[in-house]
A and B are shown apart, each in its own frame.
Chain A
Amino acid sequence: MTARVDPQFITELKKYGEVTIESCFNCGNCTAICPLSTEETPFPRTNLRLVQLGLCDKLRESLDPWLCYYCGDCSATCPRQAEPGEAQMTMRRWLTGQYDWTGLARLFYTSAFWEVGSILLVGAFIVWMFFLFAGPMVTDHVALNTFAPVERIHYGDWVLAAFLSFFLLSNVVRMWWFTVAKDSKVKVPFSVYVTEAWNLIVHFVTQKQFEKCDEEQKGFWQKKRWRNHWFLVSGYVLMFVMVVGFLPWFQTDNIYPIYHPQRWLGYYATIVLLYGGFDILWSRIKKEHQSHRFSHLSDWIFPILLLLTTISGILVHTFRYLDLPLPTYYMYAAHMVVLTPMLVLEVPFGKWSHLAYRPLAMYFHAAKAKAAQLQESLTTAPAAAD
């Protein structure tokens, strides 16, 4: 198939973040230095070239940008300061916008007005919900479950979970359609989806691609980016499961002893979220890691919302334990006002969506490689018989 060039595409991509790859002269240093790039998937060079020529259909069908974990070695080695690492980050934003059929992701990534405005809008909606559905405020002692009855909140949780699952999953289907189904070179049989499924779980749980991304250090504790990211994810998932799955157990007016799992699981999640949130923000402010030298608005919004959610959660907890009823209620409402847009907007339409796309990309990539291998063995088998 002959592909048609579109030099305007780079202008389009620039709306999603820092792109300076016009100056790339395709030397391939980036690919040579990349610890994750392989002979079969020689990124970032391939991706950069697709952008240079504006072959956006091919970029949409590529999983490569998701295979990059942004160690930044490519940007550091680039002889033309073309910032291939940041370009791939931008491509991931663009891809998120392509997978999302609602167009909201594209809107949020390319417009600060819509990004901030929609957060405020969802926050206002939550305030309104509190006006409508909040219970009475008991002032002589803290009765959170009276102010915000856990059944109602839990009900809201389920609505929220259904909402974001629906959008995220439908976007995931689109990702599969672009990157796997439309690939004319390889057809993935159903059995391969099943046999390769472990990839999805392993990469979701371990995020072990990060390991290769920090070649100089040895071991989980020394590999700072992997370690911090892993703890952040563990805290986030734990908190998400507790809140969405076990809210009546988690949000209670009972005070459990310190050794109770409700307490220490909550504390663990809070500590790693707090540390993780600060770590990201601090690193972006200091621009200390290659991957933090450029920050798109979406890169700021995400840790800020996370931090605000965590801090407000800590304050709710503190006020409740200090038995301060009104501050507890108001802080609880504030907590919900920050938390809801973070989940509703960031998970299906924003940066948070990478929690699905990253392990899925590893899974699809492995499935395609396996399928290609099977195809190869089928076509070469008769030759071997000769």
Chain B
Amino acid sequence: MPEENVNKQAQAGQNPKDEEPRIGVYVCNCGGNIGDVVKCDMVAQTLGKLPNVTVAHSNMFMCSDPGQKMIADDIKEKGINRVVIGACSIFLHEQTFRRTLERAGLNPYLYYHVGLREQVSWVHHGTPKEATEKSIRMMAAGIAKARNMKPLEPVRLPAHRHALVIGGGVAGLRSALDLARRGLQVTLVEKSHYLGGRMAQWERVFPTNEEARPLLKRLIDQVLAEPNITIHTGAQVAGAKGYVGNYTVTIRQQPRGVRGTFPNEQGVMDVCPIKQRCEFNYGLSTRKAIYRPYKECVPEGLVIDWEHCTKCGECVQVAPEGMINLEEEAHEFTVEVGAVVLATGFQPYEPFYGEMGWKEYPEVITLPQLHRLLDDEGPSDGKFYWNGHPVRNVALIHCVGSRQVEGVHRAQMDGEVNNYCSRVCCTASLSMASLIRQKAPDAKIYEIYEDIRAYGRWHEDYYTRASKNNVTFLRYYAEEIPEVRRADEKAENPLLVKVRDHLTWGEEIEIPVDLVVLSVGMMPNPVQDLMEIFKVTPGSDRFLLEVHPKLRPVETAVNGVVLAGTAQGPMNIQESCAAASAAAAKVSALIEQAKVELEPYVAHVDPDQCQGSGECVKVCPQEEAIELKTFSENGRTFQRAVVTPANCNGCGVCVSVCPNRALDVQGWRLDEYEAMVEAIAADIPAWEGAA
């Protein structure tokens, strides 16, 4: 249990072997990165004269095998029990050297790393003398800290071998399947009543031109066949407690209201008096308050839209006995999980009223709507018709809701415009142009773009195909967006699109069309509640933010919460699945061993000093990281602060407010700081280059 860990930790900190510090100092040349500026030999020589420094070496590459061997040999042969290395950044090789120490039988935390490259040589390359002096001071401070260092152990916590995947779209499904196949239990939570998410609404998908739903069905079937996966549709996360390895998540599930399937489903839907906008068709058609999300949806069967159902009971009359229960209530339950995958997906950008004629003219639709329109199972059975007429002239306008320019485009609620590229829409538009060409060989198709970014493998083919298929391209200026307006009543085509065309040396071009398709970008699904529950943060583009875009691309700053798919940013299906698999790999590496290991740099209470003032609890920014607990000893009852290491991020705010100096952050104790400050401010020992 965590408490036991803390005690063990405390013991480790309190009772170091009272041995004399024997410090090994190593100055890395970094192949000239440091050595060309800093006189590494001089630094080593100078530091070698300091008390407790047993050996001081410089070397071309400390991270190389000979470099590491030098440290290991010194530990074994010369009894070195503290190591200070001046080298590159801690982010690059801290783990390398920790393992070196471990292999040589030394506690890996008895090592201090000074960033001579980033903090000295790279920033002071014009002044080698001062750079050398600064290196000596920084490393002298490291040595001062090393004298006071105590061995530490990582915080080890038991973890549930159970992951929660939030979102049943293609990313969530992929992640769940990967996790389950690694032997982990998976709970998959999907807000809607069917699996597949946005992908189910596409007609076909690039770059293979496969039909989206059969492709999705293959993935769903695999997920359904996996015994380790428990699926909850119509369900949302209502709350969570705990930390990495040990989350207790509350899930709230809406009932379907309908049990299974039965033959007379159409008849049941027919009698329902309530008509609603069909979300699946993006409002191109209507549905009833009891409806089937789409033809081959999983799980199958009808669903009741509780928000709009009046419980008139008409459907119950027509349906077989006991199949429909209008009195079913939402219920809550909890799951214990070790990690969470956020696969909450995106929503298409919703243009503002009048933005390129949106809502102002019925002949303006969005790209997702076009997908529904061209879908054989869509509202027009796949015929390229609008308002009952075949569409002969269609303009697809790119970058609607993407790559917006401040001052040109209207900002969202948060005052920001969508200045990011949504990445998929270019190729999606081009692939739609090909599909239109198939369905309406004589149609005039215009692609009105700012830039074509068909970046992926085979994406460019769509561009080539479109231009060979007589699709006319016009390029507008970023600051001058195309204008859509109503044509004269007598005109053959209802709309006119006006573009100032880059490619025709800025000529104003007017295009008569029957239909305008806005190639809308991606916006993250609104997951404010989940962000609060799991303490994850969005980027300025409102998508969930990773720790590092390159080195840790699917992890959030919260350990145990990872991202999959378009919750993180615009991605196509291929990229979503890749991200989902990466997320699954991260989660399984974290909890597969049923335990998690955390850095020991957490707050530590000295129970002898603590008076139970509770100041620390008041200022702690983390939830449940530090609390007052009541103890009784020899008939006396008192309160003491107790740290839950898993929840502590080692910020040290508690240390600064403790009136009794009973708190310290392990590995960064106040006495260590004091020694370092002393050493930095001290006169540095004489060195040859100083004169």
Contacts and interface: CB of A to CB of B under 8 A. Distances in A.
Interface stretch (B234-242, B463-471, B515-523): B463-471
Which of the listed residues B446, B467, B473, B501 has the most CB atoms from chain A within 10 Å of its own CB?
Answer: B467
A53 B467 contact: no
A22 interface: yes
A184 to B, nearest CB: 14
Q: How large is the interface on A (under 10, 10 to 19, 20 to 34, 35 or more residues)?
A: 10 to 19
B507 interface: yes
A53 B509 contact: yes
B512 A49 contact: no
B470 A7 contact: yes
Contacts of A10: 470
Which of the listed residues A4, A50, A53 has the most CB atoms from chain B within 10 Å of its own CB?
Answer: A53
A46 B505 CA distance: 8
A46 B509 CA distance: 15
Q: How large is the interface on B (under 10, 10 to 19, 20 to 34, 35 or more residues)?
A: 20 to 34
A4 B493 CA distance: 13
A183 to B, nearest CB: 15
A202 B501 CA distance: 38
Nearest to A20: B468
A5 interface: yes
B487 to A, nearest CB: 11
A4 B467 contact: no
B681 interface: no
B480 to A, nearest CB: 14
B512 A4 contact: yes
Contact of A50 (B474, B504, B508, B512): B504
B124 interface: no
A25 interface: yes
Nearest to A58: B507
Given A2-B509, A3-B508, A7-B444, A22 B468 contact: yes
Given A46-B505, A49-B504, A5 B468 contact: no
A3 B510 CA distance: 6
B505 A23 contact: no
B472 interface: yes
Contacts of B464: 23, 80
Interface string B578-603: 00000000000000000000000000
Interface in A1-59: 1-5, 7, 10, 22-26, 46, 49-50, 52-53, 55
A5 B509 contact: yes
Given A22-B467, A24-B467, A25-B467, A53 B505 contact: no
Which of the listed residues B469, B501, B504, B512 has the most CB atoms from chain A within 10 Å of its own CB?
Answer: B504
Contacts of B512: 4-5
Nearest to A50: B504
Nearest to B497: A5
Interface in B465-497: 467-470, 472-475
B472 A7 contact: yes
A88 B518 CA distance: 35
B472 A53 contact: yes
Contacts of B510: 2-5
Nearest to B475: A26
Given A22-B467, A23-B467, A5 B472 contact: yes
B503 A1 contact: no
Contacts of B509: 2-5, 53, 55
A80 B498 CA distance: 28
B435 interface: no
B511 interface: yes
A53 B505 CA distance: 13
Contacts of A49: 503-504
Nearest to B470: A22
Given A2-B509, A46-B505, A53-B509, A80 B467 contact: yes
Contacts of A55: 504, 507, 509
A25 B504 CA distance: 12
Contacts of A53: 472, 474, 501, 504, 509
A79 to B, nearest CB: 11
Nearest to B505: A46
Contacts of B444: 7
Nearest to A28: B503
A245 B13 CA distance: 119
A80 B444 CA distance: 21
A14 to B, nearest CB: 11
B498 A2 contact: yes
Contacts of B446: 5
Contacts of B475: 26
Contacts of B507: 3, 55
Nearest to A4: B510
Contacts of A23: 464, 467-468
Contacts of A25: 463, 467, 473
A356 B511 CA distance: 37
A80 B465 CA distance: 11
Interface of B: 444, 446, 463-464, 467-470, 472-475, 498, 501, 503-505, 507-512
Given A10-B470, A24-B467, A53-B472, 10 more contacts: A1-B508, A2-B510, A4-B510, A5-B472, A5-B509, A5-B510, A5-B511, A22-B467, A46-B505, A49-B503
15 contacts: A2-B508, A3-B504, A3-B508, A4-B510, A5-B446, A5-B472, A5-B510, A7-B444, A22-B468, A22-B470, A23-B464, A25-B473, A53-B472, A55-B504, A55-B509
The 3 A-B residue pairs with the shortest CB-CB distance in the complex, in nearest-first order: A2-B508, A26-B503, A7-B444
